[in-house]
Amino acid sequence: MLQLDDFYKARFVLSHVIRKTELVHTPRINPDSDVYLKPECLQKTGSFKIRGAYYKISQLSQEEKEKGVIACSAGNHAQGVALGATAMGVKSLICLPEGAPISKVEATKRLGAEVCLVPGVYDDAYQKALQLKDEHGYTFVHPFDDEKVIAGQGTIGLEILDQLPDVEAVVVPVGGGGLISGVAFAIKSLNPNVKVYGVQAEGAASMVQSLHDHKQEKLPSVATVADGIAVKEPGKITFATCSNYVDEIVTVSEDEICAAILKLLESEKMVAEGAGAASVAAVMYNKVPVKGKKTICVVSGGNIDVTILNRVINRGLVKSGRLCTIEMELDDKPGELVEVASVIASLGGNITGVHHDRSANRNKVNACVLRVTMETRDEEHVKEIKSALEQKGFHLWII
């Protein structure tokens, strides 16, 4: 049973460890809602996970601390456990999926933990951690399905009510459910009128499916840029807590997540990983009913792998209509390319790439295929350029 007293105890224990992340007012995320960000991406380890991990380890007996702790993680929980264990002089071993970002693996090592890379995804690392726990007598620090961990994460809910007492909706990323369980339990216990919404990636919607079917279910696989919430199966405690305290959990697409990362970078100068930006994506694309409400998006982490950042930004640009590629069939004769460029330039499009192909399949023998990539303002601007080109007689399609 979760107890609110444990949440207040966790807040006291964590008061000298964590940063109390101040709210950031950002109405540009959705003009129909009064939006604030809770930037947990600014925590010492770049994620909210330090809260639950540190509090859990702090509550272990001396005997348990002497034997050491073990955990499994896609990266953020690993760093929280490593920091907490090292700070308290406790040995830590972390099992990470083999595909975890190198930056997260190295950060975990720098914080003093021993790392064991496991083939597969989070759930495979979880099974390996349980095996090593039994073999060596370590204490397992679960990333989400643990009452102490949930209480630590739930201190975010207490802070939210302190920082914005008249908040009407809170939107939280969901993987295994530890964060939203803590936030929802704390907020609903103190103010049941506040709506709490969860967000999962479409490619890892384990909690959404479980709640829909009213039972814990395990997905056969997960695939998403939001590696921090790529969990096949929710926890027993978190499933029950979400069933009782969370108003709704929705999904967002990969493109919507990428667009949210880009929006945070440009508008707020804030770096968020895919999992952290999921809450913002839900509000940007009206996946949750927050119109006219004071809304807080929990940006749960900022540990994005910089090696994929360029691809994420490009997908975000495409989703928001800022980058567009069109193909068209045109007569292979002088002046056609100039005509196309003139139409685009006259409407303010900026051509960044041109590919002219005579060998591509086409309807007419004396025709060619032209591919043009351009920078545009938004989706309406793309439609305007497309319409103008069609009025000039060009047959085109957007790719």
Separation between Cα atoms, residue 208 and residue 231, nearest integer Å: 12
Query: What is the H or E stretch that residue 255 is in?
Result: helix 254-268
Whether 300 is a known active-site residue: answer yes
Active-site pick, 33, 210, 300, 320: 300
Choose among 389, 396, 391: nearest CA to 345.
Answer: 389
104 close to 45: Cβ distance less than 8 angstroms: no
**What is the rounded CA–CA span in Å between residue 352 and residue 367?**
23
Strands 323-331, 395-398: parallel, antiparallel or unpaired by DSSP? antiparallel
Q: CA–CA separation, 219 vs 206, rounded Å?
A: 6
Q: Which amino acid is at 334?
A: P
- Closest CA relative to residue 272, chosen from 281, 261, 287, 283: 261
How many CA atoms lie less than 13 Å away from 327 in the CB half-sphere? 11
Determine whether 112 is exposed, middle or buried from the number of CB atoms within 10 Å of its CB (0-12, 13-18, 19+): middle
> For residues 384 and 324, what is the distance between their CA atoms, to the nearest angstrom?
12
CA angle 7, 9, 14 (to 5 degrees): 95
Determine the longest span between alpha carbons in the chain, in angstroms: 83
H/E segment holding residue 294: strand 294-299
Distance CA 70, CA 305 (A): 24
Cα separation of the two ends of the chain = 52
Rounded to an integer, what distance in angstroms lies between the CA atom of residue 398 and that of residue 58? 56
| C-beta atoms surrounding 22 within 10 Å | 12
| 387 assigned to active site | no
Q: Is 396 left (phi over 0), alpha (psi -120 to 50) or beta?
A: beta
For 17, which DSSP code? T
Q: From the candidates 49, 104, 133, 148, give the one annotated as an active-site residue.
A: 49
Q: Are 156 and 183 in contact (CB under 8 A)?
A: yes
Nearest by Cα to 97 from 71, 74, 131: 74
Catalytic residues: 49, 300
